[in-house]
Amino acid sequence: MQIAFVGQIRNISTQTTNITYKLDDGTGTIEVKQWVDADTQNNMDIDGGKVQSDSSKPKLTENEWAKVWGKLKQFNNRRHVGAHVIRPVTDKMDLTYHLLEATYVHLYFSRGPLDQVKQEPGSGVNGASNYGAGGDMGGQQLPSMTPNARRVFQALKTSPQNNEGLHVQNVAAICSMNVADVMKAGEELLSNSLIFTTVDDSTWAILEF
């Protein structure tokens, strides 16, 4: 399966035959392997058993974002991506594009094609008509939820933030709640597809409709 995705580099391990990057795209982590032969085709060379990159090219570093084009593979029951190309993200809009695409794919597989959704305007999350009662988002009503979940949702919806959303610690401070209660409320919102994780499992953003 050919795939393309954007992720944050958590770790880089250099071997004589390949470089292994551990990437986190907000839904989880996966290893991305780029073999030396492929590197050579991209102006990479071997020097004393270590892979040296062309100094004229942007370097891949830990905690920075990268975009990968490659093939999903499996070895010893573990999945990894064999990279055809991996490069640093220089345009931060690539992060937004990735999050929008991931959202679209999630909605496609969880709620069906857009035409089907349009034909069923009364249907909502988990089959609740018009999203149940209480509040609205984008002209649609929200499902019934606990008071804590509503507080967390409102904090995520109204607080200033970047494309990565807000970390659970920030939400706890904004809502004057303890972290355990915020995490529980977040799980409720995630299960109702009202928010999604971004850079890690503890950073959330509103799922706009």
How far apart (Å, rounded) are the C-alpha atoms in residues 152 and 157? Answer: 9
Mean pLDDT of 77-99: 84
The CATH number assigned to the domain with range 2-90 reads 2.40.50.140
CATH 1.10.10.10 fits 94-206, yes or no: yes
Residue 199 pLDDT level (bands cut at 50, 70, 90): confident
pTM: 0.45
**Per-residue tokens: 154:** 């409102």
Phi-psi region of 63 (alpha: psi -120 to 50; beta: other; left: phi over 0): left
Mean pLDDT of the chain: 76
Question: What is the band of 52 on the pLDDT scale with cuts at 50, 70, 90?
Answer: very low
pLDDT in tens, 106-137: 777 777 776 655 554 444 444 433 333 344 44
Please check the confidence at residue 184 and state whether its pLDDT lies above 50.
yes
Tokens of 209: 């409709």
**Model pLDDT for residues 134-169, shown as the tens digit of each residue:** 444 444 456 788 999 999 999 998 888 777 788 899
Mean pLDDT, to the nearest integer, of 168-183? 91
Domain ranges of the chain: 2-90, 94-206
User: Within 10 Å of residue 23's Cβ, how many Cβ atoms?
Assistant: 23
SS3 label, residue 208: coil
Average pLDDT estimate for 75-98: 84
What does the alpha-carbon distance between residue 15 and residue 19 come to, in Å, rounded to a whole number? 6
User: Identity (one letter) of the amino acid at 76?
Assistant: N
Same fold yes or no, 2-90 and 94-206: no
